[in-house]
Amino acid sequence: MSLVVLATGGTGGHIYPAVATARALMARGHRALLLGQRGGMEERVAAEQGLDFRGVEAGKLARSGQGRADPRELLRAGAGVIQARSLLAQLRPGVVVGFGGFASLPGVLAAQALRIPTVLHEQNARLGLTQRLAVRGARAVGTAYPEVVGLDPRKGTLVGMPVREERLPRTEALARLGLQDGPLTIFVMGGSQGSLFLNNAVPDTLRNIFGGEGLVDHDLGVLTPRIDLDFGGAPTAPPPELGAGVQVIHSTGKRWMNDVAPRVRDLDWYHVSGYVDAVAAWSAADLAITRGGTGTLAEAAFHGVPLIMVPLPESAENHQWHNAMTVQRAGAGRVVEQQEVGRALGAAVLECAAAGTRIAMRTAAQKRSQPGAAERFADLVERHLTPAAATTT
């Protein structure tokens, strides 16, 4: 059977598509091994998923507009390539697959130096920095978007965004999360490691809307805001479900958990966790407040969850804004730019929570879903396996 090395790391947006692809390849009889930064998030995820992992040094490279790279990071990147080259020479994989991010670069460049076939996956609508460094030597690139700026279309193949294609019945998902069946459920997450900005902004916004009881104030069916949310017009009629209350599951990221939890301790309807079961959370959610990473947007589409997206302004080439605008144009969510959160987030939550709006957004989200992306990408990877490389113990 063939050994496929999947070079990945840094963030969940790079790691979880590699995990999904590994599962697809393993189901076909191949061995899969994740290669990333020693001690990085990818090492922990691989252990949790029962996947083989090897770690090397990795260094972050400065993107356009970020100034010069730290020389120490360049040294780490160079050391990582040397370590990866030694490892791959021993393993002799049939192909190395790169998922972008600085932690993937040592494995991909080392493979190309050893003339091992490489295949890349580009998840954004613009080719990322590490992929630009590796694309010339790659055999093929699987993409999540029909067109990718900076990529020769002759080298790209649209496969979609590999995600974990698992759903739970809503009642089971709610039970796993310790939530009630009945209230409108809002999932808040800022990516696999959390978002300090969302952690600071969202709890107060939702408290102001829903109060201590997790309800919207009603006066003959008309919304009475607890504070001036600057809606710019007449009060908005609430969705009927809000009379039964709301509940929030907020994934803060482990390092921010102890900062957020005390601020919502008095809110029985606001549940905070450093890390949540993503399949359960997406399966339970009626609405989500997120950043604009492609992995997050793909998971939301798979589960048909409407989104309120606050793109990370510092994302490379502002790719999160472009990603989020694609979702908004499809009718599956609303974009609130970070500098507008204080003024506009509350209004966006109330708009998207309304039953009619939410149902329409859910339908639009489901239309954006690309099920089978991991299988399609596995097909592409298999086409470039070196037959002679194939077996290992």
Q: What is the CA radius of gyration of the chain?
A: 22
Tokens of 210: 């829903």
b/e sequence 62-82, b meaning 16+ C-beta within 10 Å? eeeeeeeeeeeeeebbeebbe
pLDDT confidence tier of residue 236, bands split at 50, 70 and 90: very low
Indicate the average pLDDT of the chain.
Answer: 88
Residues 168, 246: Cα–Cα separation, whole Å:
20
Element (H, E) at 247: strand 246-251
pLDDT tens for each residue of 75-92: 888 899 999 999 999 999
CA-CA distance, 313 to 335, in Å (whole number)? Answer: 12
Segments in the chain forming alpha helices (H): 12-27, 41-49, 71-91, 105-113, 129-134, 170-177, 196-210, 257-260, 278-284, 294-303, 319-329, 341-353, 355-368, 373-382
Q: How confident is the model at residue 322 (pLDDT cuts 50, 70, 90)?
A: confident
Strand partners for 7: 35, 98
pLDDT at residue 243 in the model: 47
Average confidence (pLDDT) over 262-268: 95
Say if residue 136's pLDDT is above 60.
yes
Output the pTM of the full model: 0.81
Comparison of pLDDT for 222 and 247, the residue scoring more? 247
**Higher pLDDT residue, 49 or 315?**
49
Q: Would the pLDDT of 70 be above 90?
A: no
Residue 220 is predicted with a pLDDT of 27
Task: For residues 253 and 179, give the distance between their C-alpha atoms in angstroms, rounded to a whole number.
Answer: 19
